[in-house]
Amino acid sequence: MSILQVTNLCKKIGKKEILKNVSFAIEKGDILAFIGANGAGKTTTIKCILGLQKMDSGTITINGYDIKKDFVKAISSVGAIVESPDVYQYLTGMENLEMQASFYKDTNFEDIMRVVRLVGLENRIYDKVSKYSLGMKQRLGIAISLINNPDLLILDEPTNGLDPEGIKELRELLLKLAKNGTGILISSHNLSELESFCNKVCIIQKGKIITENSITELKTTSENKYHLKVDNASHARKVLGKKATLLDDYNLELFADEEGIAQSINLLVEHHVKIYEVIKESLSLEEAFITIAGGEKIV
């Protein structure tokens, strides 16, 4: 049974179709990158999953419980940050955590201290949240979303306001959680941050899912980019044809799969072009995403 199963989710606001037949699933240990431009329907999808907005049709189940019919059972195994970590500013971090923890059965002080340590807020947890930086609020938000040991963790733009060190820590934390079986849905603008630790990607554009794949699948279906340093770049460009792009007198770029690059090198040698360097540049998730979205940069 999937931790999260979204099936044919549709939502209209007024006459505008915000979501059209959105379907995807998250299994135990999945980290799913949920990618889309502003207004594509990411946050609306997340809000429907959490029951914060009503859907027009479709079903969402969490651990097999329907979010509409069995809301309390479904939601009790979910932790989430939506849009931004909005907590009570006039309370301390600790008071916020204690309050959120009190809403779940069987949470105790040990659980609270565990999540505080997980996000590294031990030193500032007794300060008022109004004195926190955005990054610290983000950490507190993550701590709150983990307080009930959720099976499904939903993080909407969690890297906002985190410094590189914080992002690295978050990455390690999420990998650890996933290893223990938590399903994670994570949306972010910063796609390159996601690629290093997500195992699934789901791209949404104008309310429609355009692809749902594993990351490795996404990458291998595309050609790779190669960087070549030669003695006469313009000559080489003529030999290789339109596949190559001239960078300057000595450097050019080439898109090709593995067979293609071997042929190209052969061709250059035959035409007496001296090759100094051939560097394979791995295709980033963002570039793969652009390729799939039809070359249109939508983020």
* Angle between helix 134-146 and helix 93-102 axes, rounded to 10 deg: 20
Whole-number minimum distance, CB 19 to another protein, in Å? 12
- In eight-state DSSP terms, residue 131 is G
Whole-number minimum distance, CB 38 to another protein, in Å? 10
Whole-number minimum distance, CB 48 to another protein, in Å? 10
Q: Where are the alpha helices (DSSP H) in 50-187?
A: 71-75, 93-102, 109-119, 134-146, 164-179
Site string for another protein, 125-144 (x = CB under 8 A): -------------------x
d(CA 185, CA 26): 8
Q: Does 91 bind another protein (CB under 8 A)?
A: yes
Q: Does 90 bind another protein (CB under 8 A)?
A: yes
Q: Where are the alpha helices (DSSP H) in 57-130?
A: 71-75, 93-102, 109-119
Tokens 């983020």 sit at which residue?
299
Whole-number minimum distance, CB 298 to another protein, in Å? 18
Q: Which of 57, 89, 180, 245 binds another protein (CB under 8 A)?
A: 89
Whole-number minimum distance, CB 11 to another protein, in Å? 9
Q: Does 109 bind another protein (CB under 8 A)?
A: no
Tokens 């061709």 sit at which residue?
267
Strands (E), the chain: 4-13, 16-26, 31-36, 57-62, 65-66, 78-81, 152-156, 183-187, 200-205, 208-214, 224-230, 244-246, 251-256, 275-281
Q: Does 71 bind another protein (CB under 8 A)?
A: yes
Q: Which stretch binds another protein (CB under 8 A): 98-106, 172-180, 238-246, 256-264?
A: 98-106
Nearer residue to another protein within complex by CB, 156 or 195: 156
Q: Does 56 bind another protein (CB under 8 A)?
A: no
Q: Does 83 bind another protein (CB under 8 A)?
A: yes
Nearer residue to another protein within complex by CB, 78 or 230: 78
Residue type, 227: H
36 within 8 A of 293, measured Cβ to Cβ = no
d(CA 294, CA 210): 11
Q: Does 54 bind another protein (CB under 8 A)?
A: yes
Q: Does 80 bind another protein (CB under 8 A)?
A: yes
32-51 positions binding another protein, by CB under 8 A: 43-44, 47, 50-51
Whole-number minimum distance, CB 142 to another protein, in Å? 12
Q: Does 82 bind another protein (CB under 8 A)?
A: yes
218 within 8 A of 285, measured Cβ to Cβ = yes
Q: Does 53 bind another protein (CB under 8 A)?
A: yes
Closest by alpha carbon to 209, among 72, 8, 74?
A: 8
Nearer residue to another protein within complex by CB, 89 or 133: 89
Total residues contacting another protein (rule CB under 8 A)? Answer: 31
182 within 8 A of 210, measured Cβ to Cβ = no
Nearer residue to another protein within complex by CB, 87 or 115: 87
Q: Does 76 bind another protein (CB under 8 A)?
A: yes
3-state secondary structure of 13: strand
What is the contact surface with another protein in residues (CB under 8 A)? 43-44, 47, 50-54, 71-73, 75-76, 78, 80, 82-84, 86-91, 95, 99-100, 102-104, 144
